[in-house]
Amino acid sequence: MIVTVKKGYEPSLVRRRLADLGLWVKALHSSDAGAAFQVEAYSAPIRPSYLEDLEGVEAVFGARPASAQVGDQNLPVRAGQHLIGPGAPFAVVAGPCSIDTEERIHDLARRLARRGARFLRGGAYKPRTSPYSFQGHGAQALRWMREAAANAGLAVVTECMSERSVDEVAEFADLVQVGSRNMQNYALLKEIGRTGKPVLLKRGMASTVEEWILAGEYLMVHGGSGVVFCERGVRSFDTTTRNLLDLGVVADLVHARGFPVVVDPSHATGRPDLIAPLCRAARALGAHGVMFETHGDRGGALSDGPQALLPDDAESLVQELTGGCS
Ligand code: PEP
Ligand code: MN
């Protein structure tokens, strides 16, 4: 965004006013034609019309509203019988990476619900890096999960990976997950939007916030009923954790934009020992919920076993985060 200064007006006064608003500015030129400042992208978000009214400002250019429908929600999203987002109780979304057996998902749903979780996650269709890895139990897993969630009073969160399975997944899911790898699959976003379902939109592993928000806008423009943004870590140079959890951006989405946001420490770190501390951090900074993976048999799980929290630990964490209230 570029802000030009009125002819004859002292540019440094405008610069100071912009800085007072939390904006990072760079001087572009100062000549007879006047002065201009570039507002850096990492500045606090601000309405261009507000800047136009500042004393000494001539005009504001290149201000693209990142989103119209997904923006300024400041409202929770309804997913089945539960709400998630601003004003709703802190949401815990928990469950296995992929659903492996009917008994296990029923048992887990009961245990999590008893402690105050309101959302059951589990993959039926899995995006796997290798084509030789387990790809998910598909339709059968969706039915197991739906029944387990219904018995326990939980809402279902599960991923939709392809345009071909949109209607099937929408029938079983209360909140349709769009995975990191598909965040910019626009054909898929349009099809999912068309179902009118709310979506848990995971951040692409190398996506900017603008790209992420505009992916949410695709869903809304095409009929979606709400978007919950899920930060799951971005690619980094360091291998201490699987990805780099970007809590700065979570704070931005929650506090500067009023979007519904949940944090996924399982995929962000790949480490069960870091799930509880990062869930606490997410709650402390104002996120509206967390999503983590839990499984009773790390070695036997069909995907992401090593990062799963064991069910006893998951139960205590859910209790701690929700106060045991559903
Ligand atoms: C998942 O939630 O199991 C998953 C595959 O996550 P992501 O899309 O964030 O990698
Ligand atoms: Mn996983």
- Among the atoms of ligand 1, which is closest to the Cα of residue 232? 9
Q: Among 228, 232, 304, which residue has the most ligand 1 atoms within 8 Å of its CB, making it the best to mutate?
A: 232
Tell me which of 99, 133, 159 to substitute to probe ligand 1's pocket, judged by most ligand atoms within 8 Å of the beta carbon: 159
Cα separation, 102 vs 116, in Å, equals 22
Tokens standing for 315? Answer: 């139960």
Residue 31 has pLDDT above 80, yes or no: no
Pairing of strands 82-84, 77-79: antiparallel
CA of 45 to the centre of ligand 1 (A): 29
User: Whose CA is closest to 264, among 242, 290, 241?
Assistant: 290
Ligand that comes closest to the CA of residue 232: 1
Which pLDDT score is estimated for 34? 79
- pLDDT band with cut points at 50, 70 and 90 for residue 296: very high
User: How wide is the angle at C-alpha 243 spanned by C-alphas 242 and 245, nearest 5°?
Assistant: 130
Question: What mean pLDDT comes out for the span 211-240?
Answer: 96
Query: What mean pLDDT is predicted for residues 273-294?
Result: 98
Over residues 301-321, the mean pLDDT reads 97
The pLDDT value given to residue 47: 85
Q: Kindly state the average pLDDT of the residues 24-44.
A: 86
Mean local confidence (pLDDT), 40-60: 91
| CA dist list (Å): 85 to 92, 162, 164, 256, 286 | 11, 26, 29, 14, 10
Rounded to whole angstroms, the Cα distance separating 317 from 5 reads 54
Residue 126 amino acid letter: K
- pLDDT, tens digit, 9 for 90 and up, residues 239-265: 999 999 999 999 999 998 999 999 999
Residue 65 — pLDDT band, cuts 50, 70, 90?
Answer: low
Least confident of 24-38, 96-110, 174-188: 24-38
Which residues does residue 121 pair with via DSSP β-bridges, in sequence order?
157
Ligand 1 neighbours, Cβ below 6 Å, are: 97, 123, 127, 179-181, 202, 232, 267
Q: What is the mean pLDDT of residues 135-162?
A: 98
Judged against a pLDDT cut of 80, whether residue 67 lies above it is answered with no
Contact 279, 244 (CB under 8 A): no
DSSP state of 115: T
- Nearest bound ligand to the CA of residue 159: 1
Nearest Cα residue to atom 4 of ligand 1: 179
In a 10 Å sphere around its CB, with 0-12 CB exposed, 13-18 middle and 19+ buried, how is residue 277 labelled?
exposed
How high is the pLDDT of residue 71?
A: 63
292 pairs with which residues across the strands?
94
Give dist(CA 111, CA 117) in Å, integer.
9
User: What are 92-128's pLDDT values in tens digits?
Assistant: 999 999 999 999 999 999 999 999 999 999 999 999 9
* Whole-number average pLDDT of the chain: 94
β-strand pairing of 91-95 with 119-121: parallel
Q: Bigger pLDDT: 44 or 242?
A: 242
Q: Name which of 62-76, 112-126, 169-183, 292-306 the model is least confident about.
A: 62-76
Measured in whole angstroms, how far is the alpha carbon of residue 272 from the centre of its chain? 20
Q: Which comes out higher in pLDDT, residue 102 or 326?
A: 102
Atom 1 of ligand 1, nearest CA residue: 97
- DSSP secondary structure letter of residue 244: B
The string over 149-180, giving b where at least 16 C-beta atoms fall within 10 Å of a residue's C-beta and e elsewhere, is beebebbbbbbbbeeebbebbbebbbbbbbbb
Ligand nearest the Cα of residue 302 is: 2
User: Whose Cα sits closest to atom 3 in ligand 1?
Assistant: 97
Using the mean position of ligand 1's atoms as its centre, give its distance from the Cα of residue 305 in Å: 13
